Amino acid sequence: MKGSLLTLGSSTERQRKLMAFGNGIADFRSDTVTRPTPAMRKAMAEAEVGDDVYGEDPEVNLLQDEAAAMVDKEAALFVPSGTMANQIAVGVHTRIGDEVLVARGAHVRQWEASAAQANSGVAIREVGALRGAIDLDELAAYLHRRPDDHIGVYRLLSLENTFNGNLVPIAHMNRAIELAREAGSLVHLDGARLFNAAVAAGVEPSEVAAGTDTVSFCFSKGLGAPVGSVICGTAEAIRQARRIRKRLGGGMRQAGVLAAAARVALGGWRRLEADHRLATDLAVALASVPGVGEIGAVDSNMVLLEQKDLPFGIDTFLAALESERILCGKLSSHVMRIVCHQDVDNADVERLIGVARSLVD
C-alpha cells in the first residue's frame, strides 16, 4: 500500500496523483466522489438566488418543500453536510448530559469527530447490531433501566439506514422505534443514503422515515449533487434547527446555486436502482474469481470484501487496482469497500474483475 492514494497523507499529493491518472480513472472509493451532471450544472447556472439566512432564496425554499414532502414531514432545512444534519438533530432533541443510543459503529458516533459530545454535551451509547440492525433485546434493556440518579437520561435513539450499504429492514426499524417511544425517547434517522434504503426495500422514501421525529439525508452521495444535505421534521423542530445551524456556522447566503443541483439530484433518486444492480453484478463476478469465498449479501450500492474471503491480501489488491487507475476503499485492516455510483459503469467493473483474476492466474 506504500504510496497508495488511500494511505498517502497529504491531500495535495493525492490530488496531484489523481490529476496524473487523467481520464479513465474508475473511482469506487465512495459515492461521494460523484461529479455534478450537465443537468445539475445547467440548473446551478440558471438558479434564481437570494439570501438564505434571511429565508429569501427561492431555490432553497423549493428544495426544502420538496424534501419535506418526500419524507412526509412538515418542514426541512438545507445544510452543508450530513454531519451537520446529524449534529443539528442531536442538538434539537437533547439537553446537555443526555445519552443518545445508536447501533455499534454508527456514523454519528464513529465518524463525526466526537461532534455530538463537543457540540451538545451528550454521551453516546452504542448498542450491539448486526449489519446495522440494532439488537432489540439490548435496546429494550437500556431503555427500560430503572430510573436512577447514577445514569443519564436516554433522550434520543438515532438510527441509520442504509448502514455500510446494508438495508436495515423497515419492520426492524419500526420495532426499534416502538421500543423507544414506549420509553419516552425521541427518534432521529441518519438517512444519509435514505433513497438507497427505499430502493433496496422497494418502498417510498416516506416509509423509511415513518415514525421518526427527524430524518436527514444527503444529496451529495449517490444522488450525485456536489454539496448538501437536509434535515426534516416538525415545523417546530426545524425552527430550532435553523438556530442551531446558525450556531454551527452553517447558515449559507446565495445557496440556491447548490439547492438547484440538489433539486435535480432529488428528482433522479430512482436511478439508484442502477447502482444497486451494478454492485450485485460486481459481487457475482468477483465470487467467480478462483479462490474468492462467499461475498456477503449486497443490498444496495456497496460491496464489502473481507480479507478471510480473498485469496490475495487486501493491500495487494488495492495496489494492483490502483496501478490500473481503479480506486477502492478500505474500511479497516481486514475489510475493503467497493462503491457503485453514477460515474462508474460495466466496463469499469470488468476492468476491476480483470485485476482480481490477474492476481490468481
Ligand X SMILES: Cc1ncc(COP(=O)(O)O)c(C=O)c1O
- Positions in the binding site for ligand X (CB under 6 A): 81-83, 86, 107, 160, 190, 192, 218, 220, 229
Under a CB-based contact definition with an 8 Å cutoff, are residues 208 and 161 in contact? yes
Distance between CA atoms of residues 141 and 149, nearest Å: 17
- Positive or negative, the CA dihedral 283, 286, 287, 291 is negative
Place of cell 457503485: 340
Instruction: Tell me how far, at minimum, the Cβ of 289 lies from ligand X, in Å.
Output: 28
Instruction: Tell me how far, at minimum, the Cβ of 217 lies from ligand X, in Å.
Output: 9
Instruction: Tell me how far, at minimum, the Cβ of 227 lies from ligand X, in Å.
Output: 8
DSSP strand pairing (326-327 vs 26-27): parallel
Task: Return the number of the residue (119 or 183) whose C-beta is nearest ligand X.
Answer: 119
Q: For residue 337, what are the β-bridge partners? A: 304, 329
Other Cβ atoms closer than 10 A to 125: 14
Task: Return the number of the residue (265 or 310) whose C-beta is nearest ligand X.
Answer: 265
* Burial tier of 120 (Cβ tally within 10 Å: 0-12, 13-18, 19+): buried
Q: For residue 190, what are the β-bridge partners? A: 160, 216
Exposure string over 325-346, b if 16+ CB within 10 A, otherwise e: bbbbbbeeeeebbbbbbbbbee
| Residue type, position 317, single letter | F
Instruction: Tell me how far, at minimum, the Cβ of 98 lies from ligand X, in Å.
Output: 20
Task: Return the number of the residue (192 or 208) whose C-beta is nearest ligand X.
Answer: 192
Instruction: Tell me how far, at minimum, the Cβ of 338 lies from ligand X, in Å.
Output: 15
Instruction: Tell me how far, at minimum, the Cβ of 228 lies from ligand X, in Å.
Output: 8
| Residue type, position 25, single letter | I
Q: For residue 79, what are the β-bridge partners? A: 229
Q: For residue 75, what are the β-bridge partners? A: 233
Place of cell 444535505: 229
Other Cβ atoms closer than 10 A to 211: 18
Distance between CA atoms of residues 94 and 125, nearest Å: 14
Instruction: Tell me how far, at minimum, the Cβ of 119 lies from ligand X, in Å.
Output: 14
- Positive or negative, the CA dihedral 228, 20, 111, 170 is positive
Task: Return the number of the residue (120 or 229) whose C-beta is nearest ligand X.
Answer: 229
Task: Return the number of the residue (127 or 355) whose C-beta is nearest ligand X.
Answer: 127
Instruction: Tell me how far, at minimum, the Cβ of 218 lies from ligand X, in Å.
Output: 5
The residue at minimum Cβ distance from ligand X is: 82
Other Cβ atoms closer than 10 A to 80: 19
Instruction: Tell me how far, at minimum, the Cβ of 321 lies from ligand X, in Å.
Output: 21
